């Protein structure tokens, strides 16, 4: 291992030179005029991996191409599948960049360039790690596959279908993704859960058509008032969801996670400021981490009814509509949650109104058990790579590709974010700390070794 | 009086012939291609009144013209100002008419034609009445003025300015308007009150911008949820407005009115059906008549916030807006009502949200005291004209021209509706009962006499 880490250190400049080549390709997936750049970036990765000894192939999809590459010369060893992406966000407003967006520039120990952190730089840590292994020992301690797409920034529209059609290529033991961030500088982080979501609509009708508020106002029900009364009863005054069964099955985080969160630097004032709100809100007996990571929530995301134009209209509105969603946590079944919401809405519906509940899309949460061999390997690698004990964090939203790996391919995922929360990944002056780039490469190289030993040694 | 009523009876055919001429003019004010028809109708009325001995003049306005005519040869007698309009609603869908919309056709005792009830037919009852007086006695028992406009169906945009500029022409003792309906067949009705209105907007902001519901949901306030919670507290569960001071100053109807309402045929099932609702709603200890005529109400007329497009969006909305209005009853001051609503909203606003209250337009209610000499004269005329004791009714909405007469010109108004609720005044197959046409003419002729005697005799 020593030799490998030395190789990484002595090859730092060469790795950066390589990465700069990739960063200079303006592979903006949202802009059609960059289609050929996208292809160039994909081909660059394929060529790079081929040179290292991987079988690499560019695959066409219904959208932009992707590259799948594999090195599987250790049939009795576990297989690691690295996922990443080479497409980037647009660079507007370009005038706010302090150096040209596609010209890698180092300032104050940071590498500035679009894609530096999201995701070319992070992705490159894994390419460098396999190079170090292969250059030093002529082999890898595990089997390695790379699935690198180029449509992540536009929602990965082609990837799920490609994955369904190429399941056999993707057999693996664990997926490793570095496309997120550390909780804070020097807090190497392992993400152990993503919330799911279940969406729905509520429609209230109180009359066949809007009524004249002079002729009928005061004597007939008002659809907006019915809807607002229903919605206002979905939470109690403290912020807790007031729906029987809503919190059924909710899995509390492991003690290990809770202990880990106590170590996280968190300043409520900073959180409030970053959210642009006046104060926090929500379940009073829960910490902010619990509220956004481990507790299901119910949000009304849109509402519409009656007259919304300029001025005023004297009507009693006949119809009002709200859209909502529940963020789900591990063990919750989206259809159960939608069912209890529907039951509660029907219970709250007054006899003088028709209340329709329509279920939308449901995706369960993703849970990454903290006690697996993979997590133990990752913690050990992060600790050695960063020289700091890693923390467990979670993600309050969903990452659709992770859901695909976990649910469709039944693969455990390790989310090792080497970036930082202030990397400005979708804004001007995106950066990636060179120190984290180095620590990421070390972590990745060590992880391959840890996975072998954990797999075989425990 | 006998001679006059006989004249009305014997001239029935001639009156209808005249009215048919006016009805055949397709004076649709909403359609620019009918501008010349509008003018033709106005000029027809001016010519008709001139022939009867009135000083009649067509006045240009910023929109369609109007006619003002007067016969003021009784300087020591009261002056009656008749208001009416000769413009009509569009006739679409024309295929639903059983006879051509602008061809007066009698079926089953009803005169079918656009404008038959609203308002050419009703207006013509007063022209016939003055003709009967002038043809029979060579004089009128009072002074009479006619203000007949041609923009009522498009909201009378030019009339208020014209009235302000011609105040001196409009000096009168009482205004008589027949542009409404009887409560039901054989229920000659005198309208004694119109509700006013005060409108407002509520805007809630909880963050600088919509937030990602994965990253923040559960830990930050939601503008829609704040707004719905506020709105839901503006009424109690029974339907009463739950705002301190909201019912201040509310004038209860006179015993005479309340007694009168007991005589009205009212079937809640029919009311529910005509409104297209499942059930009535509102202050539980109040009758439907009270709820729509004499009780102030608070309606949310529109609401908007968050994502309203197709599908779903995972946000915590930062902003939500509602529009509302209070229908006001006699003695309520719109600015007081808006003030107490604003106070309540500020009280309900949680510390973690910015709640802005914006006052809109306010118009007080109109009250027509039931104990005036004018009302006594009108009741007597209706009783004699219809052979039925009249009832007091009210109107839940505002009639802007009545508000102008009452508030700007300080004139008492008599609202004598000769039409019927099922005259389909804005729909295909508009009709006017010929029996009500005759009873209207008689009532108008008698009213002129009653006004003289009430004015001089009490």
Sketch out chain A's domains with CATH numbers: 2-193+366-457 (3.40.630.10), 196-250+296-363 (3.30.70.360)
> Does residue B458 surpass a pLDDT of 60?
no
Q: A263 near A392, Cβ under 8 Å?
A: no
pLDDT value at B211 more than 70: yes
Q: Which residues of B touch A302 (CB under 8 A)?
A: 224, 305-309, 313, 317
ipTM: 0.89
Q: Tell me which chain A residues have a C-beta less than 8 angstroms from the C-beta of B216.
A: 275, 292, 396
pLDDT of residue B455: 55
Contact A327 B280 (CB under 8 A): no
Cα(A359)–Cα(B9) distance, rounded to whole angstroms? 68
- A451 or A455: which leads in pLDDT: A451
Q: Is A353 on the interface with B (CB under 8 A)?
A: yes
One-character DSSP codes across B84-152 = EE--B----SGGG-SS-TTS-EEETTEEESTTTTTTHHHHHHHHHHHHHHHHHHSS-SSEEEEEEES-G
> Is B194's pLDDT higher than 90?
yes
Which token pair is A259? 């202990």
Residues of A in contact with B212 (CB under 8 A): 396-397
Rounded to whole angstroms, how far apart are CA atoms B354 and B202?
A: 10
Residues A370-388 as b or e (16 or more Cβ within 10 Å = b): beebbbebbbbbbbbbbee
Q: Is B269 on the interface with A (CB under 8 A)?
A: no
Taking only the tens place, the pLDDT of each residue in B335-363 is: 999 999 999 999 999 999 999 999 998 98
B360 touches chain A (CB under 8 A): yes
Determine whether the interchain pair B278/A315 forms a contact, defined as Cβ–Cβ distance below 8 Å: no
Nearest CB to B229 within list A212, A217, A232: A232
Q: How many angstroms away from the CA of B182 is the closest CA of chain A?
A: 15
Given CB atoms, is B320 within the 8 Å cutoff of chain A?
Answer: yes
| 8 Å CB contact of A211 and B275 | yes
Residues 384-413 of A with CB under 8 A from B: 395-398
Rounded to the nearest 10 degrees, how much is the dihedral formed by the CA atoms of B91, B93, B96, B97?
Answer: 10
- What pLDDT score does B361 carry? 87
- Per the CB < 8 Å rule, is B317 touching A302? yes
- CA atoms of B37 and B18, how far apart (whole Å): 17
The Cα–Cα gap between A432 and A425 comes to 9
* Per-residue model confidence as pLDDT tens digits over B362-402: 989 998 988 899 999 999 999 999 999 999 999 998 888 89
A303 in contact with chain B, both atoms CB, cutoff 8 A: yes
**Contact status, residue B448 vs residue B140, Cβ threshold 8 Å:** yes
Name the pTM for this structure.
0.88
**pLDDT at A408 (0 to 100):** 87
Query: How far A182 CA lies from chain B's nearest CA (Å)?
Result: 15
Nearest CB partner across the interface for A314, out of B197, B281, B351: B197
Residues in chain B with CB shorter than 8 Å from the CB of A206 are: 277-278
* Residues B303, A300: C-beta atoms closer than 8 Å: no
Nearest chain B CA: its distance from A324 CA (Å):
8
Please state, for a pLDDT cut of 90, what percent of chain A lies above it. 89
Q: In chain B, what residues touch A211 (CB-CB under 8 Å)?
A: 275-277
Least confident of A362-376, B40-54, B140-154: A362-376
Please state whether B83 falls in left (phi above 0), alpha (psi between -120 and 50) or beta. Answer: beta
Distance in Å, alpha carbon of A358 to nearest chain B alpha carbon: 11
* CA distance linking residue B437 with residue B228, whole number of Å: 50
In this structure, are residues B356 and B433 in contact, taking their beta carbons and an 8 Å threshold? no
Query: Is B148 near chain A, with CB under 8 Å?
Result: no
Residue among A275, A295, A312 minimizing CB distance to B216: A275
pLDDT in tens, B119-175: 999 999 999 999 999 999 999 999 999 999 999 998 899 999 999 999 999 999 999
Closest CB from A282, A321, A360 relative to B312: A360
B278, B314, B396 member nearest A215 (Cβ): B396
Q: Residues 184 to 243 of A: which have CB under 8 A from any B CB?
A: 195, 197, 199, 206-209, 211-222, 224-225, 227-229, 231-233, 235
Whether B454 has a pLDDT exceeding 70, the answer reads no
Q: Do A212 and B360 touch (CB under 8 A)?
A: no
Tell me the shortest Cα–Cα distance from A267 to chain B, in angstroms: 14
| Distance (Å, whole) CA B305 – CA A303 | 5
Chain A positions touching B318 (Cβ under 8 A) are: 276
Residues in CB range of A32: below 8 A, 6 or more apart: none
Interchain CB contact of B181 with A (< 8 Å): no
Torsion (CA) B129, B131, B136, B140 in degrees, nearest 10: 70
Mean pLDDT across chain A? 95
Percent of chain A with pLDDT over 70: 99
Q: Kindly list the residues from chain A whose CB atom is less than 8 angstroms away from the CB atom of residue B225.
A: 231-232, 235, 299-300
Q: Tens digit of pLDDT for each residue in A310-324? A: 888 889 999 999 999
Nearest CA in chain A to B358: A311
CA distance A371 to chain B (A): 25
Q: A284 in contact with B at a CB cutoff of 8 Å?
A: no
* pLDDT at residue B332 greater than cutoff 80: yes
From the list B277, B302, B315, which residue is nearest A352 (CB)? B277
Arithmetic mean of pLDDT over chain B: 95
- Per-residue pLDDT at A455: 55
- Contacts with B, A 68-127, CB within 8 Å: none
Residue of A197, A218, A291 lying closest to B314 (CB–CB): A197
**Reported confidence tier of residue B311, pLDDT bands at 50, 70, 90:** confident
Candidates A214, A275, A301; nearest CB to B397: A214
Tell me how far apart the alpha carbons of residues B432 and B422 are, in angstroms, rounded to a whole number.
Answer: 9
Cβ <8 Å between B300 and A306: yes
What is the pLDDT averaged over residues B195-214? 95
Which pLDDT does position A454 carry in this prediction? 64
Rounded to the nearest angstrom, the gap between the alpha carbon of residue B286 and the centroid of all alpha carbons in its chain is: 23
Sign of CA dihedral A193, A198, A199, A202: negative
Q: What is the pLDDT of residue B360?
A: 92
Residue A356 host element (H or E): strand A354-363
């Amino acid at each position: 291992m020593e030799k490998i880490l030395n190789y990484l250190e002595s090859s730092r400049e060469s790795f950066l030179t390589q990465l700069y080549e990739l960063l200079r390709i303006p592979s903006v997936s949202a802009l059609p005029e960059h289609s050929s750049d996208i292809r160039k970036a994909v081909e660059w990765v394929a060529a790079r991996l081929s040179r290292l000894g991987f079988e690499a192939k560019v695959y066409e999809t219904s959208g932009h191409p992707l590259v799948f590459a594999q090195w599987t010369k250790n049939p009795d060893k576990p297989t690691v599948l690295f996922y990443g992406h080479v497409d980037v966000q647009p660079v507007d407003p370009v005038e706010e960049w302090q150096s040209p967006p596609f010209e890698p520039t180092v300032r104050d120990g940071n590498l500035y360039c679009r894609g530096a952190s999201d995701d070319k730089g992070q992705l490159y840590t894994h390419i460098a790690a396999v190079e170090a292994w292969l250059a030093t020992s002529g082999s890898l301690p595990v089997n390695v596959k790379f699935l690198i797409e180029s449509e992540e920034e536009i929602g990965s529209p082609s990837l799920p279908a490609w994955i369904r059609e190429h399941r056999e290529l993707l057999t693996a033991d664990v997926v490793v993704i570095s496309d997120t961030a550390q909780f804070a500088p020097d807090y190497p982080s392992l993400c152990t859960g993503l919330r799911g979501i279940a969406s729905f609509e509520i429609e209230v009708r109180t009359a066949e058509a809007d009524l004249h508020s002079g002729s009928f106002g005061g004597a007939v029900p008002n659809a907006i008032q019915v809807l607002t009364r229903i919605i206002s009863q979905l939470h109690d005054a403290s912020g807790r969801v007031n729906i029987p069964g809503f919190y059924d099955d909710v899995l509390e985080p492991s003690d290990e996670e809770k202990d880990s969160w106590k170590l996280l630097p968190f300043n409520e004032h900073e959180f409030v400021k970053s959210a642009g709100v006046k104060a926090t809100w929500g379940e009073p007996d829960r910490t902010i981490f619990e509220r956004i990571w481990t507790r299901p929530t119910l949000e009304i995301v849109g509402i519409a009814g009656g007259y919304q134009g300029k001025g005023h209209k004297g009507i009693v509105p006949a119809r009002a509509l709200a859209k909502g969603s529940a963020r789900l946590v591990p063990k919750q079944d989206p259809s159960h949650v939608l069912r209890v919401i529907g039951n509660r809405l029907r219970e709250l519906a007054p006899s003088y109104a028709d209340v329709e509940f329509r279920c939308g899309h449901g995706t369960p949460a993703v849970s990454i058990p903290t006690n697996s061999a993979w997590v133990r390997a990752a913690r050990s690698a992060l600790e050695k790579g960063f020289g700091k004990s890693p923390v467990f964090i979670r993600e309050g939203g969903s990452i659709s590709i992770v859901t695909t790996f976990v649910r469709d391919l039944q693969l455990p995922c390790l989310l090792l974010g080497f970036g930082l929360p202030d990397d400005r990944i979708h804004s001007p002056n995106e950066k990636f700390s060179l120190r984290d780039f180095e620590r990421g490469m070390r972590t990745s190289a060590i992880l391959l070794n840890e996975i072998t030993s954990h797999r075989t040694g425990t």
